[in-house]
Chains A and B, each alone.
Chain A
Amino acid sequence: MAITGGPEGVSGSGGAPPDTGTGEATAAAKSGRLGPPSWLALVFLLPALLFLGAYMLYPILFSIYRSLWDAAGTQFIGFSNYTEMFTNASTFVALRNNVIWVVVAPIVVTIAGLIFAVLTERVRWSTAFKIIVFMPMAISFLASGVIFRLVYEQDPESGLANAVITTVQDTVSPSAAFPDARPRPEAPLAEAGGGYELADEAATDEAVLVPLVGVQSDELPEEAEPAAAAEPGGGDTLTGTVWVDFTRGGGGEEGAIDASESGLPGMEVQAVSGGQVVGTALTGPDGTFELTGLEEGTYTVRLAADNFTEPYNGLTWLGPTLITPSIIGAYLWVWAGFAMVLIAAGLAAIPREALEAARVDGATEWQVFRRVTVPLLSPVLMVVFVTLMIYVLKIFDLVFIIAPGSVQRDANVLALEMWRVSFGGGNDQGLGSALAVFLLALVVPAMVFQIRRFRRENA
């Protein structure tokens, strides 16, 4: 394509301003073709140049200038705004989070895009899949933010993320905790380390009774059976019963197993000797347990603290510690489609022969992927990665929307801080300008990368 001047054309025109007078003659002379005069170019370019000058060039210069003045813009303070930027606690958190964002988010999104692109390659409904994953790109960060505020709600009853986690957790290891279970005040049990233990030591050979109350009948698991007294075990065994010592409708004897009283299944019972746990057992459906393999002697029987903890409630996604990873998760949801589509286009351009040759040589699919596909894709991966980095540097909306007011300080990023100090209440446009200039400085390497790539492609 001969239209854009390559390097020679560029050096030839030497960066001279578009001079309408002489330009006409030189352009016509150089091209030697029938062409319009170059003042006409200015007519075509004028509106764009006015806008670019007013909205890009002037602001860059003015921001640099403004960043050297104080909040009100009345006093010259040199680089104080820049030193403040790196020492102020709030901007420092923003800076730290931005580093996390720039390091983590582009990598995660690029890898997800690569995986999706490779997986969809041989599937017939790949177009449908791509549309679904790409769809979030079309909606606003505000809408995405609202969507993920809902997903990350703490209560597993209303937040999708925690609902999934707790469901999985309950399936993998069903919790048998009875957080409200407790002994009667007069029962022979004492509190110990979050759980309870029998006041008197029990000997092997003995069958002990561990009565608890405070468990509603609808809290009992389905497998629970009427409580039964345990058979005393052999010489190395200590047995007993953990049950709900409560007869509905009154009656029943306290501290004794009555006919209608239920066992407490799944309770963890420990045998403790000299402060050490020497044996553990779980109660069966009727509440009985057998602590076996003990040396003959006496032990303290303890109900472990785990039996009384609240059930697992999922993660605090929107809390101060997890907020940035949570928002990066939402970012992945939005941008994975972008990475996937670009990488899929790159994949389609890889010559089939290269892959086939490797396969014929007996390489496994993984080797083909690792040694042939990825190296051939690396220019595309680089473009995706750099593009994501540029966008991630300027991330604003998602953080602003997803982080609840109380954790906004912990989720802070540079672009958000820039808005906050200059418009959102801070009213320090000097510091705001310094932050903007800093952001600009951060994208300069990307600018250089972009210009070089462009010149290479059009050389």
Chain B
Amino acid sequence: MSTREDTAAVDPAAAPDPGQGAPQSSLASRIVSRLGSGLLQAVLVLIAVFWLMPTLGLFISSLRSPQDNSASGWWAVLTEPSQLTLENYASLLDNEGFVASFFNTVLITVPSTVLIVVIAALAAYAFAWLEFPGRDWLFLGVVGLLVVPLQVALVPIAQIYGGLGIYGSILGVVLFHVGYGLPFAIFLLRNFFAAIPRDLLEAARMDGGREFTIFRRVILPLGGPAIASLAIFQFLWVWNDLLVALVFADAQNQPMTKALQSEMRQFGANIDVISSGAFLSMVVPLLVFFAFQRYFVQGVMAGAVK
């Protein structure tokens, strides 16, 4: 069907003619749009509930005893709120292995995030504002590296780590995350730095500022939002990682994700540890997400086609 014909058919009514018919049609269309908007709102509420429900389910399951969880669904608390208990959390916090894994997660996440931001900011500054031969080719190389799957590095790096004696250590995990996070980090910061007005830099250079000073005094403050996006994105990325930890962290140095994964083999029997542990592992990411939601979304969007 052609738009042209439909256009002709609809045209008289739709034509903005303030003389006649306009009030009625606007009343009718207002009713239709009210109804439509009511329906739209209802659909969206339904979708939102649908999206919240699974997480709510995990949370409530973590507040019920394993016996209750195996006997009925989490929604049983609607009729029997007395089922709610903090026992799973209490026993989880008594579990030294899990508490240690929480600190391991922190010990892995914080240094990798800091290192990535610092190293990437330096490199991004060079790519954006320093002239050197081969710069553009080199940067295209970084763009190409954005999509390299992490799997390629697992076997080679495991061998190197074995030779160096850092296989299984936190250091090894941190360095791996830095290596793999860099292309994206450089890419994001370079694009942001490059958009800083040239005049500002030229002026600073005229004043005889040394490059490190300019980097510190001009670029870093102006690049604040981009650096925040990157830091938050990397923080969550590393915090949530399972695969790198699975390969490179031994039982002593494992983060929460790996500790919980090892409980998964007996899902039904370990549901108390798994549900409360999984929820605890989500608390920090959720806090970061809600506090810095704008920066995180920007970071994720910059990661499109990574």
Contact = CB atoms under 8 A, between A and B. Distances in A.
Q: Do A and B come from one complex?
A: yes
Interface of A: 1-5, 9-10, 13-19, 22-23, 26-28, 30-31, 33-36, 38, 40-42, 44-45, 47-49, 51-52, 54-56, 58-60, 62-63, 66, 116, 119-120, 122-123, 128-129, 131-143, 146-151, 157-160, 163, 333, 338, 341-342, 345, 359-364, 367, 371, 383-384, 386-387, 390-391, 393-394, 396-397, 400-401, 404-405, 415, 418-419, 422-424, 429, 432-433, 435-437, 439-440, 443, 446-447, 449-451, 453-455
Given A16-B133, A19-B133, 17 more contacts: A3-B128, A48-B122, A49-B123, A51-B178, A52-B142, A63-B155, A122-B40, A142-B281, A147-B54, A160-B53, A163-B73, A404-B267, A419-B243, A422-B155, A424-B246, A440-B151, A443-B148
A62 B73 CA distance: 50
B55 A147 contact: yes
Contacts of B125: 44
A52 B134 contact: no
B82 interface: no
B223 interface: no
The 8 closest A-B pairs by CB, nearest first: A55-B179, A140-B240, A38-B132, A48-B123, A138-B289, A44-B126, A59-B153, A27-B131
A352 B61 CA distance: 47
The residue in B52, B146, B282, B289 that gathers the most chain A C-beta atoms within 10 A of its C-beta is: B282
Interface in B280-294: 281-282, 285-286, 288-290, 293
A123 B44 contact: yes
Nearest to A33: B202
Contacts of B146: 447, 450
Contacts of B206: 34
B236 A362 contact: no
B58 to A, nearest CB: 5
A440 B306 contact: no
A54 to B, nearest CB: 6
Binding site secondary structure of chain A = helix
Nearest to B243: A396
B51 A147 contact: no
The residue in A28, A33, A41 that gathers the most chain B C-beta atoms within 10 A of its C-beta is: A41
A146 B241 CA distance: 15
A397 B246 CA distance: 11
Given A13-B135, A163-B73, A63 B152 contact: yes
Given A146-B278, A150-B275, A436 B130 contact: no
13 contacts: A48-B186, A60-B148, A135-B51, A135-B289, A142-B261, A147-B58, A150-B61, A150-B74, A345-B301, A362-B8, A386-B305, A397-B242, A451-B144
Nearest to A44: B126
A155 B301 CA distance: 39
A41 B202 contact: no
A325 B6 CA distance: 40
Contacts of B205: 34-36
A432 B158 CA distance: 12
A154 B27 CA distance: 51
Contacts of A367: 3, 6
Contact of B195 (A1, A15, A42, A451): A1
Contact of A439 (B129, B152, B260, B286): B152
Nearest to B33: A122
A140 B285 contact: yes
Contacts of B143: 450-451, 454
A74 to B, nearest CB: 14
B58 A143 contact: yes
Nearest to B140: A451
Nearest to A415: B151
B304 interface: yes
Contacts of A138: 236, 285-286, 288-289, 296
B76 to A, nearest CB: 9
B151 A418 contact: yes
Contact of B179 (A1, A51, A384): A51
Given A51-B179, A451-B144, A18 B281 contact: no
Contacts of A342: 301, 304
Contacts of B267: 149, 404
Nearest to A149: B267
A386 B154 CA distance: 24
Given A10-B136, A42-B132, A140 B282 contact: yes
Contact of B48 (A19, A129, A383): A129
B119 interface: yes
Contacts of B132: 18, 23, 27, 38, 41-42
B37 interface: yes
A148 B133 contact: no
A384 B14 CA distance: 36
Given A137-B300, A141-B240, A418-B151, A148 B54 contact: yes
Contact of A1 (B10, B53, B136, B194): B194
B72 A58 contact: no
Nearest to A39: B132
B69 interface: yes
Contacts of A338: 300
The residue in B11, B242, B290 that gathers the most chain A C-beta atoms within 10 A of its C-beta is: B242
A28 B205 CA distance: 14
A53 to B, nearest CB: 9
A333 B55 CA distance: 11
A421 to B, nearest CB: 10
B68 to A, nearest CB: 10
Contacts of A383: 304-305
B126 to A, nearest CB: 4
Contacts of A55: 153, 157, 175-176, 178-180, 182
B306 to A, nearest CB: 7
Contact of A52 (B11, B179, B243, B306): B179
A51 B140 CA distance: 17
B156 interface: yes
Contacts of B264: 146, 401
Contact of B153 (A33, A56, A139): A56
B179 A387 contact: no
A47 B133 contact: no
A49 B179 CA distance: 10
A133 B48 contact: yes
A141 B54 contact: no
Nearest to B73: A158
A436 B243 CA distance: 14
A407 B68 CA distance: 26
Contacts of B179: 51-52, 54-56
Contacts of A62: 155-156, 159
Given A10-B136, A59-B157, A422-B155, A449 B305 contact: yes
A416 to B, nearest CB: 10
